[in-house]
Amino acid sequence: MSNGLLNKVGIPRLIISLFLAFLVAAAFSYGLPMGQIFSAMLTRFGMNSLLVLAMIPTIQAGAGPNFGLPFGIICGLIGATLAIEMDLRGFTALFFAIGISIPLGAFAGWLYGLLLNRVKGQEMTVGTYMGFSIVSVMCIFWLMAPYSSPEMIWPYGGDGLRVTVVLDGRMEQLLDRFLSFTINGMRVPTGLLLVTALCCILLWIFMRTRTGLAMSIVGSNPRFAEASGLNVNKYRLIASTLSCAMGAAGIVIYSQSYGFIQLYQAPLYMALYSVSAILIGGASLQRATITQALIGTFLFNGLLVIALPVANVAMDSDISEIMRVIISNGIILYALTRKEVGGDAR
């Protein structure tokens, strides 16, 4: 019985949960401002959740976690920078950025999906390096692109856009502040959480339409799908299109909450962090649910938020970045070396 429970929760998820609980207890005993910490956890959760949810379509369609998420992310960055270039502010800027990002991201995802269909079985490796490549191509783009908004280019000359673009007064924390309230010193970023909930509901509905169901059939057994008259490649294509579109919108939401747009090398490892979050939530390389994505996002980001102040007090050094690297890559390694259940050997 206890064994069954352990299997259900999963060893990594259990360890991370216990660790998180331990850190919360430690933070409490050190007398750290818990309200601030909890609201930071909620914010980080909201910021990242759409980027993690973006993993679901490709996992469900059998293409594995989307290591090519940067294809979507850069589209989101283009959308966000265009909004500033056009001197938009407030919700106009946000909606404009998202409105541009989604079709761009979908298109990039479609192209990326065409590639994925030709490299079945090696999606992860190819996706990772294609993601890295596109990020470095975009570095050249940021350097050369004819942006002229003074908020984005270097003030005293120098080529191209700044490494980080401040969103102050444009759309900084727009969603976070929407309907936000404070209880016990904990600020709840209501708007951000509402948007997260909306994304979850939309994704949930989509996964229950005929197309969504077909995608999941294709992922769990491509041969079954073929025998049921489904075009496997078509649904994989839809999945990567959807995933990259979500990634594009996700980075805009992330940036507004963060208050900065990070350009150049910043998106390089973002896919890895999203992948590890969903894996921590208990997903495998073949199956993932919305709940797993949400739990994973909360655990992973919660841990990072709380580790920083606790480590600062406890050992006077910044261990949180190191921990992030170890945990995120450790969980991916764990998933890679697990015996595959089902899966397509072709």
Please report, as ranges, the residues that interact with other proteins according to CB under 8 A: 115, 118-122, 124-126, 128-130, 132-133, 135-137, 139-140, 143-144, 159-160, 205, 208-210, 213-214, 217, 220-221, 223-224, 226-230, 272, 286-287, 315-317, 319, 322-323, 325-326, 329-330, 332-333, 336-337, 341-342, 346
Provide, rounded to whole angstroms, the least separation between the CB of residue 186 and other proteins: 31
Residue 50's SS3 state is: helix
CB 54 within 8 A of CB 65: no
Nearer to other proteins, 117 or 190 (CB): 117
Q: Residue 262 forms beta bridges with which residues?
A: 164
Q: Which of 296, 283, 225, 281 is nearest to 57 (CA)?
A: 283
**What's the rounded Cα separation, in Å, for the pair 268 and 273?**
10
Provide, rounded to whole angstroms, the least separation between the CB of residue 134 and other proteins: 9
Nearer to other proteins, 186 or 319 (CB): 319
Q: Which of 220, 231, 217 is nearest to 343 (CA)?
A: 220
Provide, rounded to whole angstroms, the least separation between the CB of residue 234 and other proteins: 11
Q: Which two tokens stand for residue 229?
A: 């008259």
**What's the rounded Cα separation, in Å, for the pair 221 and 68?**
23
Provide, rounded to whole angstroms, the least separation between the CB of residue 125 and other proteins: 4
Q: Which of 101, 62, 128, 129 is nearest to 247 (CA)?
A: 101
Nearer to other proteins, 7 or 184 (CB): 7
Nearer to other proteins, 67 or 96 (CB): 67
Greatest extent of the chain over all pairs of C-alpha atoms, in Å: 67
Nearer to other proteins, 180 or 320 (CB): 320
Provide, rounded to whole angstroms, the least separation between the CB of residue 226 and other proteins: 6
Nearer to other proteins, 34 or 230 (CB): 230
Provide, rounded to whole angstroms, the least separation between the CB of residue 172 and other proteins: 28
Interhelix angle 11-29/290-315, rounded to 10 degrees, is 40
